[in-house]
């Protein structure tokens, strides 16, 4: 019995480690290549959080003054980026192309050298210098912690991965949100699309749906979308399913009528046999 118990505990521990739930092996460091990846962000958008949904990732620009996670002080500010697994446990989000932009155009981004990623600041006049403490990224067991410059008027640009046709993420900043879906993506059909919480405005701009929230008060944002071909496929499946259901109903009615007809024929035969019987006394008793 003891061996079975120990084997059971060992199996659970192995499952937890491989699933990344226990954190026994540590969260691991941010990939320097990911941090130094090149990405173009829309710094001039007016929303407090501006999100562009792409095929495999989401590029986001956040106004750091409105952040809701991390250290909110002005001298040593951070923002914490995370996701949740199927059990609801917080996990550090994978981030790439992490950048920071000051209002005057000064830009901070990572550069990779000798297997490490170091932050460099580039000024509007084109000069740049290494500033390793100006922008940092650390991973804990629960969250990815981005150390920010001591400037509450700047914006953070970060790219996170995406699986499937859904974006589900915590609200890292408070205020207004704007999300741009991929081309040919829609959310209008309730069974296929979902926007939670409900948006203030939705419009089509340059072939892409833009969803706006004037003030996002929820702690999480969930958007599930579909493509035009998905709608056609769904329609074809719906028509096919309806036709199959109607055909099955018609066949059921036909079988019901056939059964009833056969019962009536049997009953008629029985009645005819009863009429032909001689109900008089047996021979010799008359």
pLDDT score at 28? 67
Instruction: Give the pLDDT score at 257.
Output: 73
- The whole-number pLDDT of residue 228 equals 78
What local confidence, expressed as pLDDT, does residue 20 receive?
43
pLDDT of residue 16: 46
Q: What pLDDT is stored for residue 255 in this prediction?
A: 75
Per the listing, tokens 């407090």 go with 48
In 10 A of CB 221, how many CB atoms? Answer: 21
- Give the residues of the chain that fall short of pLDDT 50: 1, 5, 13-26, 238
Provide the pLDDT for residue 85. 87
Instruction: Identify the pLDDT of residue 32.
Output: 96
Token couple for 269: 């035969």
């Amino acid at each position: 019995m003891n061996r079975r118990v120990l084997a059971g505990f060992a199996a659970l521990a192995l499952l937890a480690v491989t699933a990344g739930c226990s954190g026994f092996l540590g969260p691991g460091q941010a990939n320097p290549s990911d941090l130094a990846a090149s990405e173009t962000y829309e710094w001039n958008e007016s929303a407090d959080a501006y999100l562009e949904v792409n095929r495999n990732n989401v590029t986001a620009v956040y106004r750091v003054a409105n952040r809701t996670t991390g250290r909110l002080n002005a001298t040593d500010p951070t923002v914490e980026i995370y996701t949740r697994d199927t059990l609801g446990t917080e996990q550090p989000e994978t981030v790439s192309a992490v950048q920071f932009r000051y209002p005057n155009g000064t830009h901070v981004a990572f550069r990779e050298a000798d297997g490490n990623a170091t932050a460099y600041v580039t000024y509007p006049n084109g000069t740049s210098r290494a500033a390793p403490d100006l922008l940092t990224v650390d991973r804990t067991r629960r969250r990815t912690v981005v150390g920010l410059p001591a400037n509450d008027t700047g914006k953070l640009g970060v790219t996170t991965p995406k699986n499937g046709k859904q974006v589900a993420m915590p609200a890292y900043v408070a205020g207004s949100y704007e999300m741009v879906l991929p081309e040919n993506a829609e959310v209008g059909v309730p069974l296929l699309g979902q926007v939670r919480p409900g948006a203030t405005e939705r419009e089509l701009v340059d072939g892409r749906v833009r969803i706006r929230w004037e003030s996002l008060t929820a702690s999480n944002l969930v958007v599930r979308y579909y493509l035009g071909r998905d709608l056609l496929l769904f329609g074809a499946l719906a028509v096919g399913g309806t036709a199959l259901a109607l055909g099955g109903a018609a066949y059921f009615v036909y079988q019901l009528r056939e059964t009833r007809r056969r019962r009536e024929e049997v009953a008629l035969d029985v009645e005819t046999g009863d009429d032909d019987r001689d109900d008089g006394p047996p021979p010799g008793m008359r």
